[in-house]
Amino acid sequence: MRKKHLIITNGAVITNELITRGTVVTIGDRIMYVGNEEEGEKIKEAAIPGVFEIIDAQGGYIAPGFIDVHMHGSAGLELMDGTEEAIRTIARYLAKSGTVAFLPSTVTALKDKTRAVAELVAGYQGAEDEAEVLGIHLEGPYINQQYKGAQYGPAIRRADLKELAELYTILGSKLRLVTLAPEIPGSLEAIAWLKERGVTVSIGHSDASYEEALAGFEAGITHATHTYNGMRGLHHREPGVLGAILATPGIWAELIADLVHVHPGAIKVLLRSVGVERTILITDAVQATGLPDGEYMLGDQKIFVQAGAARLAEGNLAGSTLTMLRAIKNMIDTVGVSIPDAFRMASFNPAQSLGLEDMGWIQEGNRADFAILTEDFTVQKTIIAGRIAYSADE
């Protein structure tokens, strides 16, 4: 794919405020200018021919590229397939969908399978037409059977520092995010151990009481996995995991905004409590994403997709077939958030939750990651670190 300095113009730039007629200039993999079209025209006139590539957004949107910190698969494959082909297929599908970086997520599995997947991600080398693999999200196995959802019950186990140390030896800084239940024996020690190594820890698939959840936050949890789903809910005499998330400042709250997992009214409650500043849109996408209804797999279990909703045979929701753009549109059209706020939750917030300070937002000095969209939010181009990773007209 081509890599040149870029001048992107004739589009609405989505940043802290919507610049309705804006221009963005990149040098290498960095954003060097963000501003209005009038100034952008002067830059275009002064640009040395052949050095800059001019991209016309054609009246659409110049949006920050999306970052998905929780997704399992798409286009017929998933991380737990354990193959390089699976990661490559997912990464290419995501690039076509405007996602510039992601964390492929495990599901609860036996130790050998989890280790093999960790080795795969640790050694993976992406191509230029792929979204960047930031590392791995270990969802389980240290979770509560009571709220396992679509996780594989026989492989659920107590937190194991020896196993975590082995995985960290394999992955190092690519062990980015771990979902666990703080009430499970050994979890508080595991949380502290992970925090010391800079790994983000998330509460999820948890039956913790309000007090147990707060103890997890005190130990180092800063993140909540698919808020509302897979956790003890809110009761006025026992606020549970959900109550602790809503009441505690500083927690990043994931949200599956497919309007199946969470009612729009409950989404509004989350935004009132946590705010758009701390809410993270995720897809929790499974291998059926981008494909017709039918029978698929999630780890070691069959899932059934009907009307786009993925479930186990017994009816439990099993991830989603959501794309990040559909989540953004749902937040704008149904929940009523502003365009900048919807995109913030899909890009800036997930980047911040993982400590990626120079990613996730269109501002000078940041990495040059963009989704160029039509007025109706169809992806025309995806630009990752200054290179055109996907173009609809090629």
pLDDT digits (tens, 9 = 90+) for 143-175: 999 999 999 999 999 999 999 999 999 999 999
- Spatial separation of the C-alpha atoms in residues 281 and 342, rounded to whole Å: 9
Question: Phi, psi (5° rounding) for residue 333?
Answer: -80, -40
pLDDT in tens, 34-86: 999 888 788 888 887 788 999 999 999 999 999 999 999 999 999 999 999 99
| Tokens matching residue 155 | 């492989």
CATH topology match: 5-63+361-391 vs 66-353: no
Q: Confirm if 136 and 174 have CB atoms less than 8 A apart.
A: yes
Q: CA distances (Å), 372 to each of 194, 334, 343, 389, in order?
A: 37, 23, 13, 12
Check: CB of residue 147 under 8 Å from CB of residue 163: no
pLDDT for 79 equals 98
CATH for 5-63+361-391 is 2.30.40.10
pLDDT per residue as tens digits for the range 204-252 = 999 999 999 999 999 999 999 999 999 999 999 999 999 999 999 999 9
Q: Rounded distance, CA 55 to CA 233, Å?
A: 48
Distance separating alpha carbons of residues 293 and 295, to the nearest angstrom: 7
CATH number for the segment(s) 66-353: 3.20.20.140
Burial 374-388 (b: 16+ CB within 10 A, else e): eeebebbbbbbbbbb
DSSP result, 253-294: EEEE-SSSSS-HHHHHHHHHHT-TTTEEEE--B-TTTTS-SE
pLDDT above 70 (res 20):
yes
Catalytic residues: 284
**Domain chopping of the chain, boundaries:** 5-63+361-391, 66-353
In this structure, are residues 293 and 308 in contact, taking their beta carbons and an 8 Å threshold?
A: yes
What pTM was computed for the model? 0.97
Residues 6+ apart with CB under 8 A from 20: 12
What pLDDT score does 3 carry?
57
Tokens of 213: 């959840």
